């Protein structure tokens, strides 16, 4: 039995970066209800209702996050802010795709950061070979 433990409400699809937030643009955007569930039989966590693949995987979908200039730039800014504020010694990212966010931490050469990433995305499986507890010396 699935039990919802987190309701994130209406969300746009991944890789759906809008160039503006005008009402007309937002009206054309596809949103879905994102609810996270816990399966009491097999103890797995998943989304309650998967998005229709025909809506998600269009010609605009970047299968690797690093293919998007907007995402690379956004991840770089977030990494800089996180590093400046917290000065982490260890980092773990779940759902790291092709590692585009974590690569920004490699740039902080003055410190040693232990990086762990977990990626379950099958389309990137062969590319990342399911990196769990991958160690990156800096």
Write the pLDDT tens digit of every residue in 100-118.
888 888 776 556 677 777 6
User: Which tokens belong to 6?
Assistant: 């987190």
**pLDDT at 111 (0 to 100):** 60
Is the Cβ–Cβ distance between 54 and 23 less than 8 Å?
no
Please determine, for residue 124, whether its predicted confidence score (pLDDT) is greater than 60.
no
DSSP string, 63-126: SSGGG-HHHHHHHHHHHHHHHHHH--SEEEEES-TTSTTGGGGGG-TTS--EEEEE---HHHHH
Confidence of residue 133 (pLDDT cuts 50, 70, 90): very low
Please determine, for residue 136, whether its predicted confidence score (pLDDT) is greater than 60.
no
pLDDT in tens, 24-66: 777 888 888 999 999 999 888 899 998 888 887 777 666 677 8
Indicate the average pLDDT of the chain. 76
**pLDDT at 130 (0 to 100):** 37
Supply the DSSP symbol for 23. H
d(CA 37, CA 43) in angstroms, rounded, equals: 10
């Amino acid at each position: 039995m699935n039990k919802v433990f987190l309701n994130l409400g209406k969300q746009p699809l991944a890789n759906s970066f809008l160039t503006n937030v005008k009402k007309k643009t937002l009206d054309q955007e596809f949103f879905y209800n994102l609810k996270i569930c816990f399966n009491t039989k097999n103890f797995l966590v998943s989304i309650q209702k998967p998005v229709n693949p025909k809506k998600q995987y269009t010609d605009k979908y970047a299968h690797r996050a690093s293919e998007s200039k907007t995402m690379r730039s956004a991840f770089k800014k977030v990494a800089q802010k996180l590093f400046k504020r917290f000065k982490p010694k260890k980092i773990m990212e779940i759902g790291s795709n092709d590692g585009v966010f974590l690569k920004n931490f490699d740039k902080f050469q003055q410190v040693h950061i232990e990086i762990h990433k977990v990626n379950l995305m099958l389309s990137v499986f062969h590319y990342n070979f399911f990196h769990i507890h991958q160690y990156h010396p800096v």
